[in-house]
Amino acid sequence: MYALTFGGKEMIEYSNVSDPQLLQPTDAIVKITMAGICGSDLHVYHGRETGLDHGTVMGHEFTGIVEEAGRDVRKFKKGTRVLSPFTTSCGECFYCRIGLTCRCEKGNLFGWVEKGHGLHGAQSQYIRVPMADSTLLPLSNDLSERKGLLLGDVFSTGYFCADNAGIKPSSVYAVIGCGPVGLMTVIAAKHLGASTLFAIDTIPERLAMAKNFGAVPLNATLVNVKEEILNNTHGRGADGVMEVVGSSATLKLAIDLLRPGGTISSVGVHTAKHFSFSPGEAYDKNLIYKSGRCPAHYYAEKLLRTEVPQRYAIEDIITHQFSLQQGAKAYEVFDKKLDNCIKAVLMTS
């Protein structure tokens, strides 16, 4: 089959690789119909995260159709439309039982193979899904592939970010970063009841979309963001700040915008070795800090059950579509935000 593989820093290769095989009776083979390029893929692409084996199939966002199911798979059969969270989960361990499916004791991240161990990814024609019954979710006919793809990662992550912020209707909130996850966080925060919500970025097109989703846009290159937040909170600061970028600068901005006793909800993938604010600053702010990887299976299942994705045009953030063969170009466009790209997907058939 053909796939996009990691060839080194800023090298994505369109390669002919071995077809995945059933290795366990609980495995399924899924024919990919749509795969996404995620911001966290860029950490690997730029070499900020090291250790990935050359030749690893990239990607962890996908929808597809079950091609083959192991003999112990009960919930899915050949021909079933499915979506998938970005990690596998067993559904039985301590962490799965408490809803922290991203920390499953047997789970793995799709698209990460290190020293020969791990799982190949979804930017390919087919993928092996371990523990299929407790990893995959059905993609119903009333849900588009685009919505299903976003449920497996960025919409679930945005909802997780807003949920951790403890949204209250009378409070004031800010989202730092209006990329795919930030825009999903805006939708989630408004859904959860945020009446006053600021969205901070430097790209006008992304701020315009945040405004369409109900946020007050603040362009950090044109206004003093801290002054704006203070002016709208009687000098206190925001009750909650949702940081989705994953940089030291945005995390520092988050605590600067926050009122004492407020909450920072951070879901950006941070690779810095130290916090950009001191323990003393956290102490002086009576900081509540929540961070971590989204338990995407838990949230995707919850959101499907309550039909939240059907209510909002979450798929509007997908601005670019490429064939799998155009993968290297797709990475460049997404990475450099060419042609106002917000979210890029790959069609594999």
Give the pLDDT confidence of 13-71 residue by residue, as tens digits: 999 999 999 999 999 999 999 999 999 899 889 887 778 999 999 999 999 999 999 99
pLDDT at res. 95: 98
Report yes or no on whether pTM surpasses 0.85: yes
Which contiguous run of DSSP H or E holds residue 296? helix 296-305
Straight-line distance from the first to the last Cα atom of the chain, in angstroms, rounded to the nearest whole number: 11
Superfamily of structural domain 2-153+295-347: Medium-chain alcohol dehydrogenases, catalytic domain (3.90.180.10)
For residue 155, name the pLDDT band (cuts at 50, 70, 90): very high
> Is 158-291 in the same CATH topology as 2-153+295-347?
no
Q: Write the DSSP assignment of 80-141 as a string of letters.
A: -EEEE-SB---SSSHHHHTT-GGG-TT--BBTEEETTEEE--SSBSEEEESSHHHH-EE--T
265 in Cβ contact with 241 (< 8 Å): yes
What percent of the chain has a predicted confidence (pLDDT) above 90? 93
pLDDT above 80 for 349? no
CB atoms under 10 Å from CB of 18, counted, come to 8
List the chain domain ranges: 2-153+295-347, 158-291
d(CA 182, CA 187): 9
Phi-psi group of 245: left, alpha or beta (phi > 0 → left; psi -120 to 50 → alpha; rest → beta): alpha
Q: Which overall architecture, per CATH, does domain 158-291 show?
A: 3-Layer(aba) Sandwich (3.40)
- Give how far Cα 50 sits from Cα of 40, 41, 47, 86, 161, Å: 13, 12, 6, 19, 26
Give the pLDDT confidence of 260-275 residue by residue, as tens digits: 999 999 998 888 889 9
